[in-house]
């Protein structure tokens, strides 16, 4: 044989008995079968064998199992971003004439996916008051198929009563004729990360998670997951996922596998520093509100205290109305230790000024001057000093 052939069809096989603390990384589009009969009979859906890179490798199977454990679920599918995880849930379970209920403080790009893309396929989206389960009950109709939950809400971090919302959904399902499609609940669990609270113990059907945040922890990977306890829901997700061709790369899966063992440590550390800074922010006269579920003035605080053992690394401030948007922007620009950029839960602290629509005014009617901080892994006093120097310059 020519050496070029030999290099491809090489006879050496490393011995199987290799054990290391970290799992090996397997990369494949093609998976090889010893015989045609084996190729025809292989099953991948129960993780008992491999058929094609898109259907899973030892690396993705391992990451899926660990993420299902993290969130207290049984099954997991991996997708290339958190937003793709939201889209997968919508695509797997919705059909024309279905209605979706979305909290008024939901992650914006997920709302846009429903209101722009799914709307083209005849799916109707309605918004409910995230803090009012009675409003959710009022908006459920015979066409409702899916209710999204988000704890805490995007940017403004209101904490919803998830068990009360699930009770509303269960009551509506109990009234449906037997054989009718049931209303599913799906929670965006990125904030809790499987650490601050246990969504499946609260009766949620589906948990989606932007692994881009804590499970990556590095600010360098985009990935998402959808976890369930119910085998029939998982099968629907798994088949839709396969037909859409949503694979994740082995190198990215490796980075998440590597970061996952420190997720609880990072969560606790970032939680402690974030709370300290949020409490300090309360003492500053420049802000009219400081939003963090552990602060008693923050909407949903009592529910958070009842249901959670921790909080994510986010807090939001609302500047007094005397500050213009230009001053607020200049405050962000002057920060030295906070990068201006989206996402969170990496080592780098981040800041983003937002302009919220009127519909999200709640406690803070003066619209502009809303700034969200994502606290990274830097020293708390250094971060506080940086915030103080930029406030003082106002
Ligand atoms: C970041 C985020 C997403 C989307 O994740 P990407 O990986 O950036 O697509 C969804 N929901 C929440 C709450 C997030 O913070």
- CA of residue 142 to ligand 1 center, whole Å: 30
Say if ligand 1 is within 6 A of residue 259 CB: no
Q: Is 82 in the pocket of ligand 1 (CB under 6 A)?
A: yes
Closest ligand 1 atom to the C-alpha of 223? Answer: 7
Distance 105 CA to ligand 1 centre (A): 14
Cβ atoms of 248 and 77 closer than 8 Å: no
Beta strands 314-319 and 370-374 are antiparallel
Helices (H), 260-300: 263-282
Cα first-last separation, the chain: 76
Q: What is the pLDDT of residues 44-58, one digit of tens each?
A: 999 999 999 999 999
Q: Give the closest residue (by CA) to ligand 1 atom 15.
A: 190
- φ and ψ of 208, to 5 deg: -105, 150
Are the C-beta atoms of 88 and 244 separated by less than 8 Å? Answer: yes
Q: Please give the sequence-ordered ranges of beta strands (E in DSSP) within 272-348, or none if there are none.
A: 287-291, 314-319, 338-340
User: What are the structural domain ranges in the chain?
Assistant: 36-261, 263-392
For ligand 1, whether the C-beta of 224 sits within 6 Å is yes
Q: Could you give the CA distance from residue 119 to residue 107 in angstroms, rounded to a whole number?
A: 17
Q: Per DSSP, what are the bridge partners of residue 353?
A: 371
312 in contact with ligand 1, CB cutoff 6 A: no
Per-residue pLDDT of the chain (394 residues; tens, 9 = 90+): 999 999 999 999 999 888 999 999 999 999 999 999 999 999 899 999 999 999 999 999 999 999 999 999 999 999 999 999 999 999 999 999 999 999 999 999 999 999 999 999 999 999 999 999 999 999 999 999 999 999 999 999 999 999 999 999 999 999 999 999 999 999 999 999 999 999 999 999 999 999 999 999 999 999 999 999 999 999 999 999 999 999 999 999 999 999 999 999 999 999 999 999 999 999 999 999 999 999 999 999 999 999 999 999 999 999 999 999 999 999 999 999 999 999 999 999 999 999 887 777 666 666 679 999 999 999 999 999 999 999 999 9
Q: What is the CATH number of domain 36-261?
A: 3.40.640.10
**Ligand 1: centre distance to CA 215 (Å):** 12
Round to whole Å and give the CA distance between 208 and 71: 10
Of the CA atoms within 13 Å of residue 365, those in its CB half-sphere come to 0
**In whole angstroms, what separates CA 11 from the centre of its chain?**
44
Give the tens place of pLDDT for each residue, 303-324: 999 999 999 999 999 999 999 9
Nearest CA owner, ligand 1 atom 4: 82
Distance CA 298, CA 52 (A): 48
Read off the tokens for 390: 């930029």
3-class DSSP state for residue 346? coil
The Å distance, Cα 210 to ligand 1 centre, comes to: 5
Indicate the length of the chain as a whole number.
394
| CATH number attached to the domain at 263-392 | 3.90.1150.10
CB 348 within 8 A of CB 376: yes
């Amino acid at each position: 044989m020519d050496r070029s052939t030999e290099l491809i069809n090489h006879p050496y096989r490393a011995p199987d008995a290799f054990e290391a603390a970290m799992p090996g990384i397997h990369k494949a589009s093609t998976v090889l079968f010893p015989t045609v009969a084996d190729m025809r009979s292989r099953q991948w859906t129960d993780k008992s064998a491999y058929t094609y890179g898109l259907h899973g490798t030892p690396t993705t199977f391992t990451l899926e199992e660990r993420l299902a454990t993290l969130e207290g679920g049984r099954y997991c599918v991996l997708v290339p971003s958190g937003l793709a995880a939201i889209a997968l849930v919508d695509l797997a379970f919705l059909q024309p004439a279905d209605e979706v209920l979305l909290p008024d403080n939901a992650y914006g790009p997920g709302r846009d996916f429903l209101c722009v893309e799914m709307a083209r396929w005849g799916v109707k989206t309605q918004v409910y008051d995230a803090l009012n389960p009675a409003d959710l009950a009022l908006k459920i109709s015979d066409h409702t198929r899916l209710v999204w939950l988000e704890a805490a809400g995007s940017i403004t971090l209101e904490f919803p009563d998830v068990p009360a919302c699930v009770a509303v959904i269960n009551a509506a399902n109990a009234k449906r004729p037997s054989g009718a499609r049931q209303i599913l609940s799906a929670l965006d669990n990125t904030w809790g990360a499987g650490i601050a609270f246990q969504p499946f113990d609260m009766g949620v059907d589906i948990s989606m998670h932007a692994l881009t945040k804590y499970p990556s922890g590095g600010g360098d990977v985009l990935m998402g997951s959808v976890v369930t306890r119910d085998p029939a829901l998982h099968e629907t997700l798994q088949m839709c996922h396969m037909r859409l061709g949503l694979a994740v790369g082995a190198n990215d899966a490796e980075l998440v596998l590597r970061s996952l063992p420190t997720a609880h440590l990072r969560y606790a550390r970032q939680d402690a520093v974030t709370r300290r800074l949020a409490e300090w922010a309360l003492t500053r006269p420049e802000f009219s509100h400081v939003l963090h579920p552990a602060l008693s003035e923050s909407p949903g605080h009592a529910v958070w205290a009842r249901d959670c053992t921790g909080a994510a690394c986010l807090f939001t401030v609302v500047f007094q109305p005397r500050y213009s948007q230009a001053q607020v922007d200049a405050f962000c620009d002057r920060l030295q230790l906070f990068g201006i950029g989206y996402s969170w839960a990496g080592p780098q602290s981040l800041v983003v000024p937002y302009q919220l629509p009127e519909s999200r005014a709640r406690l803070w009617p003066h619209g502009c001057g809303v700034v969200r901080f994502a606290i990274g892994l830097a020293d708390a006093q250094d971060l506080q000093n940086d915030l103080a120097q930029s406030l003082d310059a106002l």
